[in-house]
Structure 1
Amino acid sequence: MAPPPDHAPLAERVEELLAAGGPLPIVTAGQPLLRRGTERYDGQLAPALLARFVEALRVTMRAAPGVGLAAPQVGVPLRIAVVEDPAPVPAEIAVARGRVPLPFRVLVNPVYEPVGTARAAFFEGCLSVPGWQAVVARHSEVRLRGVDEHGRTLDEVFTGWPARIVQHETDHLDGMLYLDRAEPRSLSSNEAVAALWAQPVPEAAARALGFELP
């Protein structure tokens, strides 16, 4: 029989991060940790430490601000992410993008699969790639499976912008950045997006920058 796994190094890493207090530092693109994938969560953190870590992820996500944050983005290679989107956008944008409020959720060991074949493309950014956005075509509807921080089963269908968020965060857990799925010709600084491409859909950007939408 194999010996039980040694979870001490990961727990110690999380304790060190939490000891500093406040929002956690976010790992940015170029750091190998973001490309290595993550370990399936299997009790590496004691329940009390897991609860503290989840709260730190929530604080960090809100402070950034962002609508999702995965554990490897703060230097912890565990299959855990948090999502939340109050969707504070004009009605025209909300309708075009299917952006509706997404209450705070903890995703543990999530996996997703497409529901149907529809895809939608919009500008997308990432806290680990600060200052830039690009158009990403993603599944319009996905089924997400996993558990929450209490071990309760998650089996839910997400559509519109919430579907985009859970795909983005789950990809982080597999060592993928949104840039891996993005249309390269659409890459734009935040300033350019605000000045030129603030429309609800990226059709003008596609024409001007020379790329196709699904």
Structure 2
Amino acid sequence: MGTPMHRASLAERVEALVGAGGPVPIVAAGDPVLRRPAEPYDGQLGPDLLARFVEALRVTMHAAPGVGLAAPQVGVGLRIAVIEDPATVPDEVRTARGRVPVPFRVLVNPVYEPVGGARAAFYEGCLSVPGWQAVVARPASVRLTGVDERGRPLDEVVTGWPARIVQHETDHLDGTLYVDRAEPRSLASNQAVAERWAQPTPGRAAAALGFDLP
């Protein structure tokens, strides 16, 4: 638990961030806040400010657009993230990637652990690393624990693309970016992915660029 001065300073920063309403700036790779483990949330913002901060994360995620956003991505080092995915993708993509709709959710102090040994590899991007994507192999299923914004416990097994979103956003709270886990040879601009590697799976990219898939 932080000191009263620290808690007040953190609350003031968040108040200034959300005060204007609307989307807030997203921090880009290179900012130290993205590389520091976020501190556990234990009431630093108070219920009203927490609700406003969550709404700011939601609005910013939608505006970007993205399917998840972690507090460090807007410069706030707290273990809070939001996720939401309408999964408006073709059926072949939905089937290959296990991409199903995820309703808006708030993850507070989330932790994940792999369930089973299966891994899945797909192109992945990040709002804090704009313009680029790379293939990341991740556990296909994870157990998610933590609480929501109301303190209600979370303990569930998540699979498919929702599991990827959970892992990506929780990694942000540990100071980890997707590029740390990515296959370096797969790195491609958004334009290259759209023009060359937009297939449901990255098999063609792996063959052409020279990297292995699990």
Q: TM-score range by the shorter chain?
A: over 0.9
Q: Which residue of 2 aligns with 1:169?
A: 169
- Does the residue aligned with 1:146 lie in a helix, a strand or coil? strand
Paired residues for 1:181-196 under 5 Å = 181-196=181-196
Deviates more, 1:114-123 or 1:16-25: 16-25
- For 1:104 and 1:165, how far apart are their aligned partners in 2? 12
Alignment of 1:11-160 (within 5 A): 11-160=11-160
Deviation at 1:20, TM superposition (A): 2.6
Please give the secondary structure, in 2, of the residue aligned with 1:107. strand
Q: Is 16-25 or 88-97 further displaced after alignment?
A: 16-25
Which is further off, 114-123 or 3-12? Answer: 3-12
Please list every run of 5 or more consecutive structure 2 residues that lacks an aligned counterpart in the other structure.
none
Offset of residue 6 of structure 1: 3.9
Q: Distance in 2 between matches of 1:129 and 1:58?
A: 19
**Structure 1 position 3, deviation (Å):** 6.8
Structure 1: gaps of 5 or more residues: none
Tell me the amino acid that sits aligned with residue 21 of structure 1: G
The percent of aligned pairs where both chains have the same amino acid is 78
SS of aligned partner of 2:58: helix
Query: How many angstroms apart in 2 are the aligned matches of 1:181 and 1:55?
Result: 29
- Equivalent-residue separation in structure 2 for 1:189 and 1:89 (angstroms): 20
> CA RMSD for the aligned pairs?
1.2
Shift in CA distance, 3/177, structure 1 to aligned 2, threshold 3 Å:
closer
Secondary structure at 1:123 match in 2: strand
Cα-to-partner distance string for 1:88-124 (whole Å, 9 max, x where unaligned): 0000000000000001000000000000000000000
How far does residue 4 in structure 1 lie from its aligned partner after superposition? 5.9
Deviations 1:24-79, CA, capped at 9 Å, x for gaps: 10000011110011000011011000000000100000000000000000000000
The alignment's TM-score, normalised by the length of structure 1, stands at: 0.98
Count of equivalent residues: 213
Residue identity in the other structure for 1:187: L
- SS of 2:128's equivalent in the other structure is coil
Q: Does the residue aligned with 2:124 lie in a helix, a strand or coil?
A: strand
Q: 1:180 to 1:152 in 2, by over 3 A?
A: same
Distance 1:164 1:38 in 2: 20
CA distance, structure 2, for counterparts of residue 112 and residue 174 of structure 1: 11
In structure 2, what is the Cα distance between the partners aligned to 1:149 and 1:5? 23
Distance 1:199 1:3, change over 3 A: closer
Q: For 2:154, what is the secondary structure of its paired residue?
A: strand
Alpha-carbon separation, structure 1, partners of 2:69 and 2:30: 17
How many Å separate the matches in 2 of 1:147 and 1:4? 24
Q: 1: distance between equivalents of 2:18 and 2:102?
A: 26
For the residue of structure 2 that corresponds to 1:112, the secondary structure is strand
Give, in whole Å, the separation in 2 of the partners of 1:159 and 1:25: 31
